[in-house]
Structure 1
């Protein structure tokens, strides 16, 4: 374990760019929102100043309305498409004047990341001072979501692009693509020059992705217009679970800091409404798990993915629902010939164990699943998730994602996408250096 941790630290230091991290060289040369949060957790174990700077740089790119973009373009490079010149974030009147970015966001992990930094810290007083300086910006980000992304005032926020979900090419989105017929765009892909094209989304999928952005750009990334006109409008269980988990962390931290009763009260109101709606609307009794809801077409998207289990991390299901979810997970995803936890239902005809979010194992989702399983008392299954996560990294290296079939790992390298990937390294460090939950 010591050698593996040493390699993980080398990966994080290699991908550090002075005041932020990139996910990996070549494929992802900028700063990504939820990557940065998870990377900071790894840094906190051995270099707290870098962990803090990672978060500060991310928050420095926040827009005047509280929005935090999913990519911040710190450097000029043509190795990534679509880049800053395509997204044109400055179309929005409240966009950052300091940084070019996208006009999309990503799962809001920053709240619970602040709590993780505090748990890991050896100097709690200094870390709490850091949190005091930055927590209001995270609260402002949550305020943005509940004011601008919750049209029915039900405590569930929508995403308007699949990239906002973090699970970019999930088979779940296939049903939405079937309702659209975007133009054929002419563009030069960059990702497929760095990794095997068979592991990446198709050209036609990219046409859909770009079309949604073009609609948002046409209306200067105006939230009301996007809500009215975007063909993609989804309430995502992973995204909303991250928001709910981060709400909980902000409540704990504000209580620790003191003097923020109004914000605590507001967070609790959001939290109560969100959890109630989450359980009422997103839990599929027939499937026994949480699913996505297509807000544009007013229908559930009844598929099981790793996102279906993310509510465990946020403490959303009651014991009965948690039991149902874990039974489904072990029956479908937990066979002895599979590593936990594939990103999509292995029994589905849409499952592809090599293709991005259509079936491979991702360390970030496993880390959340592990935490959730521990919280609900499923220690043995949690240990399997942790063991599987460490084992696939030991066998293959710090890849972006991994084949979920054990036999493939015995025959060839079964790590795919970007290599020396930052959050795989960061969360490996956290897996092997557990911190007991603090009692706030």
Structure 2
């Protein structure tokens, strides 16, 4: 079983790898470009059997970095009208420091590259050669972190903001409903392409897209200037998943710089960021009442009190102390872990906003499960970690390599509980890592 599953996963990654551009698409039709956090997680899978492709993936991503350290969430390597909104809508050229060689968005995504480099090093059988590759790229990742702390932390708390729900990676999470209530964007006239590839029931609504486009229009009107965005964007959020990925990546950069040697100033700066970030993260984002981490709406100065898979992602970044971790895991098992559910739904299954079929409003995602599995193990919750791993392998084995999966076990009886894009790259990549763990 393991061998066949792994062979299928490798075949998917190889098929989605674009040799002419040296990057991997998330899947055919639905996502025809290079995505920031997808690429990082895909590289982890490649590292197990084709280190050259893993390195190319990271290299191509970092080539599109802007001169201020920013890494865009989509890089439009090819011309195609099969995706909306495309390069001509986003107009990254409006920013004076955008990359003139690569069309992209003016948004970013969870900064996974730091810990991805560490994972590649862990997997590598030729540590010397891999460290050499890391040495050639690591300063670009450091510059990306510097960009966040210098441009996305207006209150100097060590917590960075996202200005668009797409930056969170959890695009249509019910958490954002609270923000949409504070907005009334115009009705935009546009033609979506995602719903021609997958069932509209599995995707965000047209009205949600109006909100998404409105936020981008405000950013564009201000040439993607971070200061102006912090002042004017109706969406300004400190996201526990996003900040946890940054903190985890800081930790990894510190370890890698120590291995490389001779980067004392950068290590010192990373440690400074770490200390401030982790302190603020625990003080501001941990909700005692809910027993887990929540998002903070910086624009309206209030906590968004909802549980999601992002609430538990800080386990992966070693952020909570033992007591907090125990509380979080207890809450997770009570709310998300009953015997009729696969771990871990992307949103609280006990909430009226829960929708186990609709993108980030309830389905299980393999990338969050992979983080959760590794986080639980770090804190010694080995039995629950094992359940997350087994659940993940089971749903892929039964349904195929989909983008996301129904969290309700009853829906898996006919093996049709996989949704969104099929032959999805990070599902394949992270399964390979779980199988070889």
User: What TM-score, normalized to structure 1?
Assistant: 0.98
Deviation at 1:339, TM superposition (A): 0.1
The residue aligned with 1:13 is 14
Provide Cα deviations, 1:278-309, integer angstroms capped at 9, x if missing partner.
00000000000000000000000000000000
**Structure 2 CA distance for aligned equivalents of residues 258 and 130 of structure 1:** 14
Given that 2:398 and 2:415 are in contact with CA atoms closer than 8 Å, whether structure 1 keeps it comes out as: no
Please give the residue correspondences for 1:3-82 in structure 2 after superposition, counting only pairs within 5 Å: 3-18=4-19, 19-82=22-85
> Where does residue 429 of structure 2 map in the other structure?
426
In structure 2, what is the equivalent of residue 97 of structure 1?
100
The 5-angstrom pairing of residues 163-182 of structure 1 reads 163-182=166-185
Distance 1:255 1:123 in 2: 18
Aligned pairs (5 A) from 1:143-222: 143-222=146-225
Specify the alignment match of 2:226 in structure 1. 223
Pairing of 1:7-406 with structure 2 (within 5 A):
7-18=8-19, 19-406=22-409
Aligned residues of 2:26 and 2:424 also touching (Cα < 8 A): yes
What is the aligned residue count? 434
Please give the alpha-carbon distance, in whole angstroms, between the structure 2 residues aligned to 1:411 and 1:296.
45
**Runs of 4+ that moved beyond 3 A:** none
Mapped to 2, the partners of 1:219 and 1:5 lie a distance apart of 47
Query: Residue by residue, what CA displacement relative to the aligned partner does 1:117-141 show, whole Å, maximum 9, x if unpaired?
Result: 0000000000000000000000000
Q: In structure 2, the residue corresponding to 1:163 is in which secondary structure?
A: helix
Q: Deviations over 1:302-324 (max 9, x none)?
A: 00000000000000000000000
| Mapped partners of 1:45, 1:279: distance in 2 | 35
The answer for the alignment partner of 1:438 in structure 2 is none
Aligned partner of residue 23 in structure 2, secondary structure: coil
Instruction: Give 1:411 deviation, angstroms.
Output: 3.3
Quote the offset at 1:412 in angstroms.
4.5
Aligned equivalents of 1:152, 1:222: Cα separation in 2? 17
Equivalent-residue separation in structure 2 for 1:176 and 1:338 (angstroms): 28
Alpha carbon RMSD of aligned pairs, Å? 0.4
Q: Does the CA contact (< 8 Å) of 2:92 and 2:98 recur in 1?
A: yes
Tell me the alpha carbon deviations over residues 333-380 of structure 1, each in whole angstroms, 9 at most, x when there is no partner: 000110000000000000000000000000000000000000000000
Q: Quick one: distance in 2 between partners of 1:122 and 1:376?
A: 27
Runs of at least 5 residues in structure 1 that lack an aligned partner in the other structure: 435-440
- SS state of the match for residue 100, structure 1? coil
